[in-house]
Amino acid sequence: MTTKIKSFDELKSIQERLKAGRDPKKPCITICVGTGCLAYGTQKLVDNFRAELAKRNLTEKIGFRTTGCHGFCERGPMVVIAPDKIFYQRVGLEDAAEIIDKTLLKGEIIERLLYVDPATGQKVTREDDVPFYKKQTRLVFGLNSKVDPESLDDYLAIGGYTALGKALTGMKPEAIIQEVIKANLRGRGGGGFPAGWKWDSTRKAQGDPKYVICNADEGDPGAYMDRSLLEGNPHLVLEGMIIGAFAIGSSQGYIYARNEYPLAIKNITLAIEQARQAGLLGENILGTGFNFDVKINRGGGAFVCGESSALFASLEGRAGEPRAKYIHATDKGLYDKPTNLNNVETWANVPFIIDRGADWYASIGTAGSKGTKIFSLVGKINNTGLVEVPMGTKLREIVFDIGGGIPGGKKFKAIQTGGPSGGCIPEQYLDMGVDFDELTKIGSMMGSGGMIVMDEDNCMVDVARYFTNFLVSESCGKCVPCREGVRRMRDILADITEGKGQEGDVELLEKMAAAIIDGSLCALGNSAPNPVLSTIRYFRDEYEAHIKHKRCPAGVCKALILYSIDPEKCTGCTLCSKVCPTGAAAGERKKAHAIDKALCTKCGACRESCKFDAIIVR
């Protein structure tokens, strides 16, 4: 697209033309090249496909598309072949030629590359039939597999920017805001604040210019849906932002992205450039006289910069310290001007609401939480990946039906949601429907949508220490309860995991938590005690085992465990003696080995190497 689109009608005819030029029956190879799949080395596979297609003179006849993340990261590299949507997973980098020759030219299925449903042992041929996808509602995220993130044409061909055209030509700003309020779109970045109300306040605020910002800092360790959206479908996020800017009355937007996300930054940068050239961004958008442009700013790797006032400071080129919010950001935000900050996923939902209407949108989800939510399902789970489900979906469905349960036949222990500000949810709540309010009720929160599954081998005190430690290093240090209090909590937790816990520690932690929640300036400090409180609430017995009995029931805390070898299971294969760095694990070939406790540093190398599960950790 090199010429500017001058009206909504022209946009529609371009969309029609692009759509008509695409034969849905034409064979097309789609490969995911999101960061997750690229880490498997997928670029090589892409190169191989291109070369093999060229070699056979098939570049015209067979379509080839690289896309963003499809969500099923566990099974990458992934190839989907249209029109039948044949799904190949864990594709080898050298498999390109075979796929072209057999599947595309002869219509043969390559059995070896099919997904096997572990529940039934059956091979699945079509993408839609894979249980991981089948039970999801891939509304926002589903578009990722339909577009090449580097192609504006792809996005236009699936009707992209229709919502923008509609908003700009047929709706008053107030009506757009009313639609978003009616849809009850709640912020996906953490707090769940109704986006429409925020837009309304910013619109009504005095001050000029007004800013619109997309929060793509995504500092929550274990969540990567924002990156995958920005990387896989940047125009969707951009379209949402432009609509929001029009409704709010803003002419300047920012995207604040994590520097650790180079591909997302590259793709959104390109999308902005394309949108400008096509007259969808910049001056006189779609010939309506509306002006809006977007700048990208990269963060410096500080979790606290995801917090609104810290983010503004960082955007202004300062250290990202939060400030007190006597005045709302909607009145005085970036450069003290009215500012509307929303999360990536929040923006990505906007075009759907405008395109299909608030009533349709509000028909999905629960009473208080509408629409879908993308979760990153990670940790001790068979199907690691990004999962999009309607609000209110039961945890059990997410973990077991979609996630495929826990690997190695281990027992589910807890699921952690809400990142470092969230909590650990025990088994008894697996049948709870996940939405903003339910999660808060049981002492956790939605956060950005990270879901970390833990099994019987995870120690909950260790997990609490892990999060607290993360927050100690991420606290900006401005206020004492957060800076010193959280550090002391971490020290107490560390003591407990090192066998130095004392009676009364748990009560002390609870007392400190209350003070920290009360006395901290920003939500980092306010919510820092959550991981500790929720683990105490649901796993108090584990704390007591550490403190009273000096035992770590899960076998994680080094100071409280001993390594030994089960002579019944040991076959004397000598592997452990080879990997042990200190010579503690030793024995004669074909005879049961033993571990010299005086030499053992509990590094875990033997347990990892043993093929017979003979290493006992207690």
Partner 1 sequence: MEQKVKEIIQHYHGDKSYLVPILQDVQKEFNYLPKDALCAVSTQLSVPISRVYEVVTFYKAFSLKPKGRYQLSLCMGTACHVRGAELIAGNIESILGIKEGETTEDLEFSFETVGCLGACALGPVLVVNGEYHGHMNIAKSTKILKKLGKKGATDDDQD
- Interface residues with ligand FMN (CB under 6 A)? 187-191, 193, 195, 215, 217-219, 303-304, 306-308, 341-343, 346, 448, 522-524
- Confirm if 57 and 105 have CB atoms less than 8 A apart: no
Dihedral sign of CA atoms 394, 398, 400, 406 in order? negative
Stretch that binds partner 1, among 93-101, 240-248, 343-351, 572-580 (CB under 8 A): 572-580
Among 55, 581, 589, 591, binds partner 1 (CB under 8 A): 581
The 10 Å CB-count burial string (b at 16+, else e) for 456-484 is eebbbbbbbbbbbbbbbebbbebbebbee
Q: Which is nearer to partner 1, 370 or 465 (CB)?
A: 465
- Does 149 bind partner 1 (CB under 8 A)? Our answer is no
Closest CA to 86 of 31, 35, 135, 47: 31
- Asked if 145 and 81 touch (Cβ cutoff 8 Å), the reply is no
- 445 near 533, Cβ under 8 Å? no
Q: Which of 15, 30, 35, 444 binds partner 1 (CB under 8 A)?
A: 35
Q: Which residues bind ligand SF4 (CB under 6 A)?
A: 304, 322, 475-479, 482-483, 520-522, 524-525
Q: Which is nearer to ligand SF4, 373 or 478 (CB)?
A: 478
- Which parts of 63-82 interact with partner 1 (CB under 8 A)? 73-74, 76
Report the 3 state secondary structure along 199-216: HHHHHHCCCCCCEEEEEE
Determine which helix (DSSP H) or strand (DSSP E) holds 351, and give its type and residue range: helix 344-356
Which CB sits closer to ligand SF4, 147 or 304? 304
575 interacts with, out of ligand SF4, ligand FMN, partner 1, none, CB within 5 to 8 A per kind: partner 1
| Contact code string over 220-239 relative to partner 1, x by CB under 8 A | xxxxx--xx-----------
CB of 443 within 8 A of CB of 423? yes
Say how far apart CA 345 and CA 267 lie, in whole Å: 16
Q: In this chain, which stretch among 108-116, 359-367, 571-579, 589-597 interacts with partner 1, using CB under 8 A? A: 571-579
x/- map, 109-148, partner 1, by CB under 8 A: ----------------------------------------
Which does residue 217 bind out of ligand SF4, partner 1, ligand FMN, none, counting CB within 5 to 8 angstroms by kind? ligand FMN
Angle of helix 486-497 relative to helix 530-547, nearest 10 degrees? 30
Q: Which is nearer to ligand FMN, 216 or 459 (CB)?
A: 216
User: Binding residue for partner 1 (CB under 8 A) from 77, 299, 392, 405?
Assistant: 299
Cα 404 to the center of its chain, rounded Å: 18
Specify the pairing of strand 28-32 against strand 211-216.
unpaired
Window contacting partner 1 (CB under 8 A); options: 181-189, 233-241, 542-550, 598-606: 598-606
List the single partner that 188 binds among partner 1, ligand SF4, ligand FMN, none, CB under 5 to 8 Å by kind: ligand FMN
User: Residue 341 or 565: which CB sits closer to ligand FMN?
Assistant: 341
C-beta of residue 438 within 8 angstroms of C-beta of residue 432: yes
Pick the closer one to ligand SF4 by CB: 261 or 303.
303
Q: Is 272 exposed, middle or buried (0-12, 13-18, 19+ CB in 10 A)?
A: buried
Q: From 444, 451, 450, select the one nearest 529 (Cα to Cα).
A: 444
Cβ closest to ligand FMN, residue 274 vs residue 421: 421
Give which of ligand SF4, partner 1, ligand FMN, none residue 521 binds (C-beta under 5 to 8 Å, depending on kind): ligand SF4
Residue type, 457: D
Q: Is 161 left (phi over 0), alpha (psi -120 to 50) or beta?
A: left
Q: Which of partner 1, ligand FMN, ligand SF4, none does residue 265 bind to, with CB < 5 to 8 Å depending on kind?
A: none
Q: For residues 5 and 528, which CB has a smaller minimum distance to ligand SF4 in the complex? A: 528
Which segments of 99-224 does DSSP mark as H helices, in order? 105-106, 131-134, 152-157, 162-170, 173-182, 195-204
Residue with structure tokens 């909950």? 460
Minimum distance between the CB of residue 438 and ligand FMN, rounded to whole angstroms? Answer: 18
Nearer to partner 1, 320 or 371 (CB): 320
CA 494 – CA 364 distance, rounded (Å): 44
What residues are paired with 373 via a beta bridge?
Answer: 389
Residue 34 Cα distances to 93, 144, 148, 237, 393, angstroms: 16, 10, 11, 16, 26
CB-CB contact of 132 with 72 (8 Å): yes
Smallest gap from residue 562 Cβ to ligand FMN (A):
39
609: partner contacted, choices ligand SF4, partner 1, ligand FMN, none (Cβ within 5-8 A by kind) = partner 1
Among 452, 509, 533, 560, binds partner 1 (CB under 8 A): 452
Q: Which of 447, 450, 501, 555 binds partner 1 (CB under 8 A)?
A: 450
Contact positions toward partner 1, by CB under 8 A?
35-36, 38-40, 73-74, 76, 218-224, 227-228, 259-261, 297-303, 314-321, 376, 378-380, 384-385, 416, 419, 450, 452-454, 458, 463, 466-467, 470, 476, 575, 578-579, 581, 601, 603-605, 608-609
